[in-house]
Amino acid sequence: MRLELSAEDQAFRKEMREFFTTQVPEEIRTAVLDGRELSKEQVVESQRALNAGGLAVPGWPVEWGGRDWSQLQRHLWHEEMQAAGVPLPLPFNTSMIGPVIAHFGSQEVKERFLPPTANLDIWWSQGFSEPDAGSDLAGLRTTAVRDGDDWVVNGQKTWTTLGQHGDWIFTLVRTDPEAKKQLGISMLLIDMTSPGVEVRPIQLIDGGHEVNEVWFTDVRVPGENLVGEVNQGWTMAKFLLGNERVGVAPVGSVKRMLVRAKQVGGDRLADPLLRARIADLENELLALELTTLRVVAHSAGGAPHPASSVLKLRGTELQQAASELLLDLAGPQSLASGADPDAGGTDAPGWARRAAPTYLNLRKASIYGGSNEIQRQIIARTILGL
200 vs 241: which has the higher pLDDT: 200
Helix axes 272-297, 251-265, angle to 10 degrees: 170
Residue 245: pLDDT over 90: no
246 vs 56: which has the higher pLDDT: 56
Cβ pair 204, 160 in contact under 8 A:
no
Find residue 150's DSSP bridge partners.
147, 222
261 vs 350: which has the higher pLDDT: 261
Cβ pair 53, 24 in contact under 8 A:
no
Looking at residue 298, its pLDDT comes to: 67
Cβ pair 374, 135 in contact under 8 A:
yes
Span 86-94, mean pLDDT? 95
Q: How many CA atoms lie within 13 A of 338 on its CB side?
A: 4
CA distance 16 to 260: 23
CA distance 104 to 134: 26
Dump the DSSP string for 82-133.
HHTTPPPP-HIIIIIIHHHHHHHS-HHHHHHHHHHHHTTSS-EEEE---TTT
Looking at residue 243, its pLDDT comes to: 67
Tell me: the pLDDT tens digits for 106-120?
999 999 999 999 999
- The single-letter DSSP state of residue 228 is S
Residue 344, classified by CB atoms within 10 Å of its CB into exposed (0-12), middle (13-18) or buried (19+), is exposed
Dmax (CA) of the chain? 72
Cβ pair 173, 233 in contact under 8 A:
yes
The CA-atom distances, in angstroms, between 150 and each of 24, 147, 153, 194, 383 are: 42, 5, 10, 13, 42
How is the chain split into domains, by residue range? 7-89, 124-231, 248-384
* Cα dihedral value 278, 281, 286, 288, nearest 10: -170
* Cα dihedral value 228, 234, 237, 243, nearest 10: -100
SS3 labels along 6-73: CHHHHHHHHHHHHHHHHHCCHHHHHHHHCCCCCCHHHHHHHHHHHHHCCCCCCCCCHHHCCCCCCHHH
Residues annotated as part of the active site: 244
Tell me: the pLDDT tens digits for 127-158?
998 988 766 788 899 999 999 999 999 999 99
- The mean of the pLDDT values for the chain is 90
CA distance 95 to 238: 13
pLDDT band, very low/low/confident/very high, at 92 (cuts 50, 70, 90): very high
Rg from Cα positions in the chain: 21
User: In this structure, are strands 226-227 and 185-191 parallel, antiparallel, or unpaired?
Assistant: antiparallel
pTM of the model as a whole: 0.84
> Among 38-52, 228-242, 264-278, where is mean pLDDT lowest?
228-242
Closest CA to 264 of 35, 75, 90, 54: 35
Looking at residue 362, its pLDDT comes to: 92
Q: Which CATH number fits domain 248-384: 1.10.3720.10, 1.20.140.10, 3.90.1330.10, 1.10.8.50?
A: 1.20.140.10
Find residue 100's DSSP bridge partners.
none
- Annotation: CATH topology of 124-231: Butyryl-CoA Dehydrogenase, subunit A; domain 2 (2.40.110)
Residue 2: pLDDT over 80: no
Classified as helix, coil or strand, 136 is coil
Closest CA to 9 of 73, 79, 58: 73
